[in-house]
Amino acid sequence: MRNIETLADGWLFTKGSLAGVPAYSPGPEWTEVSVPHTWNAFDGQDGGSDYHRGACWYVRRLEIGERAPESRVYLEFQGAANVAEVYVNGCKVGDHVGGYSTFRMDVTTALMPSGNVLAVKVSNEERSDVYPQMADFTFYGGLYRPVEVLVVNPTHFDLDYHGGPGVTVSSTIGENGAALLDARAWVTGAKAGDLVDFQILDEDGNEVACASQPADLDGGKVRTLIEIPDAHLWQGTEDPYLYEVVATVIRHNEVLDEVSFLHGVREYRFDPQEGFFLNGRLTPLRGVSRHQDRLGRGNALSLEDHVEDAYLIKELGANTIRLAHYQQAQDFYDLCDQLGFVIWAEIPFISKMNDDPAAHQDCISQMTELVIQNFNHSSILMWGISNEILIGGDSPQLVENLRELHALAKSLDPTRVTTMAQVSSTPKDSEHNQITDILSYNHYFGWYGGHLEDNEAWLDDFHAMHPDRSFGLSEYGCEGIISYHSDDPQCGDYSEEYQAVYHEHMARIIDERPWLWGTHVWNMFDFGCDARKEGGVEGRNNKGLVTIDRKVKKDSFFIYQAYWSAEPMVHICSKRYARRAADAIDVKVYSNQPAVSLVVGGKPFATLEASAQTDPHIFVFKDVPLADGYTHVEAHAGDVADSTSWQKVAEAYEPYTFVDPEGGNIVMNWFDDVSADEGLPVDAPYDESHYSVHDTVSVILDNPEASATVTNAASSIANMRIKASMLGVLGNKSLVEMFDQLRSMSGNAEGLEQKIAYLNQQLQQIRK
């Protein structure tokens, strides 16, 4: 039987540059760590775009213990970012490219009877052949998921095929309510007479179906069909019923290997005019996106971290999660199966395609691993092939690569659909919108540009233009920082109140459009992006409904809970807006109950009925008086209640208002007065003692005057307000490369070369 040991403790770690493969030799250059571990837990979240990217070493003793003479020993790495080389006793046993998937290595022949040493070189340095290439999040490095030793019989379920389990099950539902399971297995080292046995157990552990097949036929490939009469269906978050599949390899009266997993019986379809159907029931998918990092931990999460995230999303009332922008932990996929979330799983083909042919092979490898390793997760319904890939520009090669990724996913798994997330500026009639089975768009109208009402206008226009295409909203959101507050929230003020207003609007228009197959808030949690500096917060994207430490739910969390959760709830907004320079204020309350009553200073103030509100989940109590000192307020809705206190003060509390050090003077029409003959050609000689478009973004951003000049130009070209902090993710790109990437996002790209030449002329007037 299979034996598994987790290698959590006993690791030594160093960032130092070493000659050769290190031995296990504790010393001052080494730090003792536990795995999961990342070396960017702090510098990847503190801003400055200067987190460590390079090669680091992990070393530990590797004692296997007593085992059967013919057994095989595998090392399993569930995540090593982004490239790993593995050595046992100084000998290289394998390597892996791609930072988000599982990989295994058979190390049997490299082992000695005792005194073994495991050394792993891991690198997150930039490479042309590894995705992600460019993205708005920190590329954490390290052995950030568990490392395990697997000791198996020579005859075992295949462990060598792209990190997969060696067993798959899919199912269909017959007219009589029976489920037909297509069970397959791949066995290494099978001998005549060996069997593969499948057992299907219900949630009480009772066997409801079984089947056996010889293991040695067809090169160890096994397939059988199993029927579950009157199957209990997996109905998403409403009823996530799961059967257990237990697959065993048997020789005579001995089980040689065993794999078990959970399986949900379900069918689904996407209707462009009606929406998403799960088991024949209209089930609009409404949920969030999730990055996997946390404050002070980076992406090195524990099982408890994953559990907390899953249950916070369940508390929100969501029924779908987009797991962006890479393969995530098996623990989290397991939780999604068990809680009933419908999952969009994707690869990190994001923002920009690299022309290096090896980069496309990495895409193929990551897509293959994503599908093979996660085939058995019933929660996954969509394979995502790219995100905002047109930021880096379009080309026939990009289209070809995307079509190949779509075809690959369909060939590996014909039971699921493919999708992609388009950058907002992708033309509605783009051929990219015809590549995958379904699609979605990322839109930030009302934050980066445009107005809130542009969201529904765009959605309705696309829906009318493409009545035969199922599409959704893959990203939407805005920054919300809980220390900023306003009585008159405006786009760009970073206040908790504006984020709430934004999501109130989005929740309503989404609810009115059930034909949107899926919508995913960006993001469930604030997450690390070391290049960012938004709202005075460095190293972070603040669009989460919950803070990066998972300690605070922002007001925007509760508007979705009011819309999506069946659990009775009531929430008073702006509690952190504690000091009020006013005699009376409006009090806003979210609830999913039919009426809300407000009690002020211990006395009933008013009761509002949901039917009388513009939005049935938003209750606004006008002109609530504030007494001198503190006023205690309670909101009651059925059996649930919420309360807070506000302090009346003489003057407004200044720290509630964000003062933007970049100023609010970004010019959106910066090139309007540029005549056709102005500006020197970009390739003309230039003075290197002054700034130019040949400098990198990071160099430009170090100088306030040069930074302001470039952000004005970028805003004008992209036709939306772009701040210096937003450009930080492009740090090592030259301005010429940056503007070439902005070309595809622009509504004002005409004469781009002339505009870049003019910008170069302006920068040449600023001394370094």
Q: How far is CA 339 from the centre of its chain?
A: 18
Cα–Cα distance measured from residue 536 to residue 539, given in angstroms and rounded to the nearest whole number: 10
Least confident of 94-108, 329-343, 383-397, 454-468: 383-397
Question: Rounded to 5 degrees, what are φ and ψ at 605?
Answer: -105, -55
Whether the per-residue pLDDT at 250 is higher than 70: the answer is yes
Strand partners, 123: 55, 83
Average pLDDT, the chain: 94
pLDDT of residue 747: 46
Average pLDDT over residues 83-111: 98
pLDDT of residue 143: 98
pLDDT of residue 686: 87
* 167-263 and 283-550 agree in CATH topology: no
pLDDT of residue 729: 67
Concatenated DSSP letters for 674-701? --TT-S--TTS---TTB--TTSBHHHHH
How are beta strands 83-88 and 117-123 bridged, if at all?
antiparallel
CB atoms within 10 A of CB 99: 28
Whether the per-residue pLDDT at 605 is higher than 70: the answer is yes
Cα–Cα distance measured from residue 228 to residue 173, given in angstroms and rounded to the nearest whole number: 10
Helix (H/G/I), strand (E/B), else coil: 668: coil
> Could you report the per-residue pLDDT of 364-403, keeping only the tens digit for each?
999 999 999 999 999 999 999 999 999 888 999 999 999 9
Which CATH architecture is the domain 580-656 placed in?
A: Sandwich (2.60)
Cα–Cα distance measured from residue 477 to residue 473, given in angstroms and rounded to the nearest whole number: 11
Residue with tokens 């964000």: 658
CB neighbour burial string for 362-390, b if at least 16 within 10 angstroms, e if fewer: bbebbbbbbbbbbbbbbbbbbbbbbbbbb
SS3 content of the chain, % helix, strand, coil (to 5): 20, 35, 45
Among 553, 548, 482, 560, smallest CA distance to 291 is for 548
How are beta strands 537-541 and 417-422 bridged, if at all?
unpaired
Helix (H/G/I), strand (E/B), else coil: 587: strand
pLDDT of residue 663: 63
Q: How confident is the model at residue 94 (pLDDT cuts 50, 70, 90)?
A: very high
pLDDT of residue 746: 47
Instruction: Give me the residue spans of the domains in the chain.
Output: 3-149, 167-263, 283-550, 580-656, 667-768
Average pLDDT over residues 323-335: 97
Contact by Cβ (8 Å): 633, 644? yes
Concatenated DSSP letters for 160-213? -STT--SEEEEEEE-TTS-EEEEEEEEEES--TT-EEEEEEE-TTS-EEEEEEE
Strand partners, 94: 86
Average pLDDT over residues 512-520: 98
Whether the per-residue pLDDT at 751 is higher than 90: the answer is no
SS3 letters across 340-395: CCEEEEECCCECCCCCCHHHHHHHHHHHHHHHHHHCCCCCEEEEEEEECHHHHCCC
| Cα radius of gyration (the chain) | 28
Whether the per-residue pLDDT at 743 is higher than 70: the answer is no
Cα–Cα distance measured from residue 442 to residue 136, given in angstroms and rounded to the nearest whole number: 14
Whether the per-residue pLDDT at 335 is higher than 50: the answer is yes
Q: How far is CA 459 from the centre of its chain?
A: 23
Tokens found for residue 718: 């992209």
ω into residue 625 within 30 of 0, thus cis? no
Cα–Cα distance measured from residue 331 to residue 372, given in angstroms and rounded to the nearest whole number: 16
Tokens found for residue 534: 């938004």
Cα–Cα distance measured from residue 660 to residue 641, given in angstroms and rounded to the nearest whole number: 37
Angle, vertex CA 759, rays to CA 445 and CA 669, nearest 5: 40
Concatenated DSSP letters for 414-473? TTSEEEEEE-TTS-TT-GGGGSSSSEEEE--BTTTBS-THHHHHHHHHHHHH-TT--EEE
Whether the per-residue pLDDT at 721 is higher than 80: the answer is no
**What Å distances lie between residue 383 and 323, 366, 706, CA to CA?**
10, 12, 42
CB atoms within 10 A of CB 453: 12
Q: Which CATH superfamily is domain 283-550 in?
A: Glycosidases (3.20.20.80)
Which CATH architecture is the domain 3-149 placed in?
A: Sandwich (2.60)
Whether the per-residue pLDDT at 133 is higher than 70: the answer is yes
Helix 357-374 to helix 330-339 angle (10° resolution) is: 50
Which CATH architecture is the domain 167-263 placed in?
A: Sandwich (2.60)
> Could you report the per-residue pLDDT of 350-367, keeping only the tens digit for each?
998 999 999 999 999 999
Q: Per the residue annotation, which of 388, 497, 534, 634 is the catalytic one?
A: 388
> Could you report the per-residue pLDDT of 456-466, keeping only the tens digit for each?
999 999 999 99
Residue with tokens 């302090």: 647
pLDDT of residue 735: 86
What proportion of the chain, given as a percentage, has pLDDT over 70? 95
Residues 6+ apart with CB under 8 A from 530: 40, 43, 44, 45, 46, 47, 48, 49, 50, 51, 138, 539
Alpha helix ranges (H) inside 621-676:
none
**What Å distances lie between residue 100 and 256, 307, 370, 468, 529, CA to CA?**
30, 19, 9, 34, 17
479 is catalytic: no
